[in-house]
Amino acid sequence: MTKLTSTHTVVNMEVKPSTFAEIAAKLREAGYDHVFLGDKQVDMSGIALVPEDDPAPATVAWKPMESAPRDGRVILLRWGNDAITPGFWVGEFGDKPESCGAFPWAFIDADSTEQNAYILNQAADNEYGPTQWAPYSAEIFQRIQVIPDGRTS
């Protein structure tokens, strides 16, 4: 009679301790204690990893430009229905405040001549400049979606 021996190879994939702890807790909670190979390995045979859902688009409470901080802190600037970009007030900073002239808002502008190129541009503090503002957060900025009719979600 032939004796069959079952073997398999385990490949280690290093993850952050917090990630391991989160996965281990979920497996133990679901009763998968048999998948643990000691304290620091999990046999993932038959277990599928799936990505979390992307976070919902951010909702931004836009404020009128008259209330925007003019102290140099980075904020989100909205340009009517066209764009949203980080920017800041430069109108009263530097050795020569008059050097910014009628363009006291500095902002990150996509350079239309090159793909993925950005420049620091300046804008007026009137009806031709930014139309609304909101506090800046990198997380919120990444989640903002401009809808074709100009609304943001």
Q: Is residue 42 part of a domain?
A: yes
> Does one domain contain both 46 and 84?
no
> Does one domain contain both 28 and 69?
no
Distances (CA, A) of 131 to 5, 55, 67, 76, 103: 72, 27, 11, 11, 14
In the prediction, which pLDDT does 92 show?
Answer: 61
> Does one domain contain both 94 and 125?
yes
State the 10-residue block means of pLDDT for the chain, 153 residues long: 66 84 89 86 78 72 93 91 87 54 82 71 88 87 58 48
- Nearest in space to 75 (alpha carbons), one of 113, 115, 123: 123
In the prediction, which pLDDT does 23 show?
Answer: 87
In the prediction, which pLDDT does 74 show?
Answer: 93
Q: Is residue 58 part of a domain?
A: no
Q: Is residue 153 part of a domain?
A: no
> Does one domain contain both 136 and 112?
yes
Three-class SS string for 78-96?
Answer: EECCCEEEEEEECCCCCCC
> Does one domain contain both 74 and 125?
yes
In the prediction, which pLDDT does 134 show?
Answer: 92
State both tokens at 141: 């900025």
Contact 40, 17 (CB under 8 A): no
> Does one domain contain both 38 and 67?
no
> Does one domain contain both 20 and 82?
no
Contact 144, 58 (CB under 8 A): yes
Range of the domain at 104: 63-143
> Does one domain contain both 70 and 136?
yes
Q: Is residue 100 part of a domain?
A: yes
> Does one domain contain both 106 and 40?
no
Count of domains for the chain: 2
> Does one domain contain both 73 and 40?
no
User: 57-84 burial by CB neighbour count: b if 16+ within 10 A, else e?
Assistant: ebebeeeebeebeeeeebbbbbbeeeeb
Q: Is residue 35 part of a domain?
A: yes
- Nearest in space to 77 (alpha carbons), one of 121, 136, 118: 136
Separation CA 89–CA 91 (nearest Å) = 6
Q: Is residue 150 part of a domain?
A: no
In the prediction, which pLDDT does 55 show?
Answer: 67
Q: Is residue 121 part of a domain?
A: yes
